[in-house]
Amino acid sequence: MPRFLTGDELGNIKSLKYTVLDAPKAEISTLYTRSESGKEKCIQALTVAPSSQEKKIIAAAHADGSASALLLNEDDSLETLCEWKEPRLRTGQKYVGLAISPKSVSTYYHSPRAGTDPASRGIYSCTSNGALRLTILGEDELPSTSKTSVLPMRLCEWRLSSDGTTFAYGGEEVELSIWDVERAFASGSPEKPSVTELKKRKRGSDLLPGELWRAKNVANDSLSLRQPVHNTCLTFLKSSASASSHHLLVGTLFGNVRRYDTRSARRPVADWQKVAKLEELKGSRRVSTSSLSGAVTSLAPSPTFLASTALDRYARVHSIFAPPAEPGLAQEHKGEVLEKIFMKSVPTAVVWDQDTSQSGKSSDADEGSENGDDVWEGMESVGDDEENEDSGLEDERGKRKGSRKMRVT
């Protein structure tokens, strides 16, 4: 039974569960309601820390610049861990990134060892005007602390890598860039760069302190005109501890999906257009979702289903299927809307709760049903055998008659 968490324009957080055991059914319940409602409390970013624990750490960022870290208990109740506000957020700007350190949950439930990096208990937030903040959860009821940094303005997307050592961003006239987390929050006056660092910076078009790699704009169009840069979304394809081996995927405002390999070049190694879902090997479009009457505001994939929210105030659960075993083959099954739930306010964000135990249980149930089918298939059917024998005798008689006719003629 997968569970998704949604945030709406009034600042509420709700739980969406989809059950498939007895009969397909979607259940939605409100987990968190703010005392003050209004469009300024709209949830702009929502994230869940990946963990195998029953309790989950959730972070939510609101349109007024406030943010909070919440603890989701086993009984679906939320407990506030800490709250903070980004004073550098101005009118017309928004949160473009929110992430929890992969080690936040383990260090929260277990006392950290001596010398543990405090950032392992951190929550990262980034705004469209480049205000980057690291909020460190306090230990033993101590208040939380924070570190700040400055990034370029007009950002549209900010992402933290799976290992939490690097992050990437992109935006309007802002090329894809990869940064080192520790160096981005390093305090103090920068040291004098060496000759080697100066050469690297010259090759990288004057990389900023803490910046590891920066993409280069694609070639001019057929009229020799510069193509505008407007990166709206991005994601890491493969996790790696080395910044030189990062694989990233970037989507643009103009419908392009570009793949970058920092080991080969600064320009994209692949550039696809008008894409709904890609096959990574050939870049061909596989699936496009239909039956949506409103513009989609957020998507949340899980191992078994896909959840979406739209401006028509509906939250939908979609079926997903694995791509063909061999490249180039047609997709046998098509995704469809399994359930849609009307919500009183416009949902703005949806995330999967990162619980893999439920998907494991469903797979075990599927294996059990398959084993049951194997038992039935192994049993012999007496009626079928008799019918097969009778049909075999009739075929032999027909062949004999045909051979006799051929001899007479």
Residue 104 has a pLDDT of 59
Which residues on neighbouring strands pair with residue 149, listed in sequence order? 132
- What is the reported pLDDT for 364? 46
pLDDT in tens, the chain (409 residues): 688 999 999 999 999 988 877 777 888 889 988 766 677 889 999 999 876 567 889 999 999 999 999 998 888 888 888 999 999 999 899 999 999 987 655 555 555 444 445 555 689 999 999 999 999 987 766 678 899 999 999 999 999 998 888 999 999 999 999 999 999 998 544 444 555 654 554 454 688 999 999 999 999 988 999 999 999 999 998 654 554 457 999 999 988 999 999 888 899 999 988 766 555 555 555 555 666 677 888 999 888 899 999 999 999 998 888 777 776 677 777 778 888 899 989 999 999 988 766 554 544 444 444 444 454 455 555 555 544 555 555 555 555 555 444 443 3
Cα–Cα dist 137/84, whole Å: 11
Domain boundaries of the chain, sorted by first residue = 3-359
The one-letter amino acid at 202: K
Q: How many CA atoms lie within 13 A of 264 on its CB side?
A: 9
Q: What is the pTM of this model?
A: 0.76
Vertex 96 angle, CA 296 and 278, to 5°: 50
CA–CA separation, 321 vs 142, rounded Å? Answer: 46
Cα distance between residue 281 and residue 303, in whole Å: 21
| Cβ–Cβ under 8 Å, residues 277 and 287 | yes
HEC secondary structure over the chain:
CCEEEEEECCCCEEEEEEECCCCCEEEEEEEECCCCCCHHHCEEEEEECCCCCCCEEEEEEECCCEEEEEEECCCCCEEEEEEEECCCCCCCCCEEEEEECCCHHHHHHCCCCCCCCHHHHEEEEEECCCEEEEEECCCCCCCCEEEEEECCCCEEEEEECCCCCEEEEEEECEEEEEEEHHHHCCCCCCCCCCHHHHHHHHHCCCCCCCEEEECCCCCCCCCCCCCCCEEEEEEEEECCCCHHHCEEEEEECCCEEEEEECCCCCCCCEEEECCCCECCCCCCECCCCCCCCCCEEEEEECCCEEEEEECCCEEEEEECCCCCCCCCCCCCCCCCEEEEEECCCCEEEEEECCCCHHHHHHHHHHHHHHHHHHHHHHCCCHHHHHHHHHHHHHHHHHHHHHHHHHHHC
**Largest separation between any pair of C-alpha atoms in the chain:** 109
Phi, psi of 322 (to 5 degrees): -70, 150
CATH for 3-359 (2.120.10.30, 3.40.50.360, 3.40.605.10, 3.40.50.1110): 2.120.10.30
Tell me how far apart the alpha carbons of residues 13 and 290 are, in angstroms, rounded to a whole number.
27
Distance CA 184, CA 160 (A): 13
Determine the Cα angle at 17 with ends 13 and 19, to 5°: 175
